[in-house]
Amino acid sequence: MVTLMRNSTEITVRAASCLVAAVAACSLLACGSRSGAGAAGPQTAGGKQSPKTSANAQGMAGMVSGVAPPGAATSSVQVKFELKERPEVAQPLDVDVVIVPVYGNLERISGKFAGDDGLETVSGQEIAVIEKPVEGTPIHRSIQVLPKRAGVFTLTAILTVDSEGQSTSQSFSTPDIAGDSPPPSASAGTPAPSGTAAAQ
């Protein structure tokens, strides 16, 4: 009888020990789950765009991204173009350009705009030195070009980017399609004779 009670007590102690261990394991899992959920919170908050970044993105929504040459290295800037009107032969055309530093510790940016043969750069072709450009902050420029004939021409931004003591050349292009100029109106033809000539 004593032996039976002793065995029963040992079984009870073992069961209690197992129960305590199970409760402890569940507590650890719960803590880990809560800590994981807490860590995910800042990541989600940090992934949201700031109002400034969102405003910049909206301001460039209608612009076309310039294309780098095939095989070019990863660019540290982006260039976007926007034609203010439809290109016409012999008609000056304003082009808005935005340069956006996207990564890296950039020290300065400079450069120029160049057009194909048949697309003359009238003004704004030089990009003055921009010191300490801020990542993600758009740099606005405006250029005026003049299509000399009908056709497809390329406008290219040729940039020199200085970063960490090294200079790299980065180019970005956009096509401009110039159509023929509209024919002159009848009122712009041969002027009517003067009153004196008519009297004669």
pLDDT at 123 over 80: yes
Report pLDDT digits (tens) over 2-58.
Answer: 333 344 444 444 444 443 444 344 343 343 433 333 333 333 344 454 455 555 666
Q: For residue 6, what pLDDT is reported?
A: 40
At residue 183 the predicted structure's pLDDT band, cuts being 50, 70 and 90, is low
Report pLDDT digits (tens) over 137-157.
Answer: 999 999 999 999 999 999 999
CA separation (Å) from 48 to 4, 37, 42, 44, 102?
A: 67, 18, 10, 7, 17
* CA 151/CA 82 separation, integer angstroms: 18
Residues 172/67, Cβ–Cβ less than 8 Å: yes
- pTM for this one? 0.64
* CATH class for the region spanning 58-178: mainly beta
Supply φ then ψ for residue 16, to 5 degrees: -65, -40
Domain boundaries in the chain? 1-32, 58-178
Instruction: Please state the three-class secondary structure of 135-182 as a single string.
Output: CCCCEEEEEEEEECCCEEEEEEEEEEEEECCEEEEEEEEEEEEEECCC
Q: For residue 76, what pLDDT is reported?
A: 95
